[in-house]
Amino acid sequence: MSPRLLTEEVRMGRAKQLMLEMEEAQWEEADVSFCCPNCEYDVDGTTSLPVVYEHGGEEHLPISIRCFSCNSSFDGWVKTDWFTCEIELDEHPDVVVKANSARGSTSDYEEYDHDYFEWLEQQELSSRPILKAFLRTIDDVAALASEISLEPKPQMLARMLLAQSVTALEVFLSDTLILAVLSHKAVQEKLLRSKSLEIGTKQFKLTDAFGVEDFAKEKLLEHLRSISFHNITKVSNLYQIGMGVTILPEGDAADIIQEAIKIRHDCVHRNGKNQETGELNVVTQESLHDLTDTLSRMVRFVDDQVRAFDTRS
């Protein structure tokens, strides 16, 4: 691999890591004071700072500051921990920006009663975090797809984005089914009793079950975690038997997904080369957008059915 290509991969890896760090961080609106480089007034401004905790680590992330006087915005970086908050503007590194750390507390909700925590838990469940995680990934893929061309470097990015899209689908299908098994005994029973799946016919010694609470459920979860969730036919049977949910789209959508799964296999196991021709798979901007649109429709379709099942059960 050439040094330039390796450098490009490193840059893309760092950009992706930074994007993940920004998504995972908690942010809080904060006031700052500085001499605005545009209007040259000593003014107050506002920005969003990553929340830091007393025994947590340091955050070093990009931010944007807005001046209340002239409404100008300035990009920069913040380096902050529990004790310090240092901000440097990209185009004006000499400007001193004063700000306090956005301190968080692990006991912010101690004053609330048990009923509040039960309500909060229900809000978390109803927010469909598994769906949101999938959509966030697919939105990022769609945004990065605008950089795709038929040149070698963009094609490497295209194959990485396609593989990430299929992986996001796998994680959604896996996490959603496992959550259903954990939440509904009826789903456990249907999957274990299904003759076609043969999950419940495996034999174990009595010593295997000794000391294991809810042994059958644990073995079912162990089986589900071992499945390759890009095997759409097998996963479709699990969803249909366990919840009566249909996951396979009809027509062109199914063909688009199956082709993407095939290319993803080539990317993971054959360095992107087509198994039949030996040539690198070509992923166009149009095909990547078609894939992200198709996966989004499929996942929303599945999530709607699972939500209806949760309501009935």
Count of other CB atoms within 10 angstroms of residue 122: 10
Is the pTM higher than 0.75? no
* 158 Cβ neighbours under 8 A, 6+ residues apart: 145, 148, 283, 284, 285, 288
Kindly give the confidence (pLDDT) of every residue in the chain, 313 residues in length, as a single tens digit, with 9 standing for 90 and above.
444 444 555 455 555 565 666 566 678 877 788 899 988 888 776 688 888 877 677 888 888 888 877 878 888 999 998 888 999 999 999 999 998 888 876 444 444 445 544 554 454 455 578 898 899 999 999 989 888 887 878 899 999 999 999 999 999 999 899 889 888 999 988 988 887 776 656 565 555 555 555 767 777 888 788 777 878 888 999 999 999 999 987 778 888 999 999 999 888 888 889 888 889 999 999 999 999 999 999 999 999 999 999 888 7
pLDDT single digits (tens) 157-211: 999 999 999 999 999 999 899 889 888 999 988 988 887 776 656 565 555 555 5
Helices 232-243 and 252-269: angle between axes, nearest 10 degrees:
120
Task: Give Cα separations from 299 to 166, 176, 177, 258 (angstroms).
Answer: 12, 10, 13, 15
Q: How far apart are CA 23 and CA 36, in angstroms?
A: 29
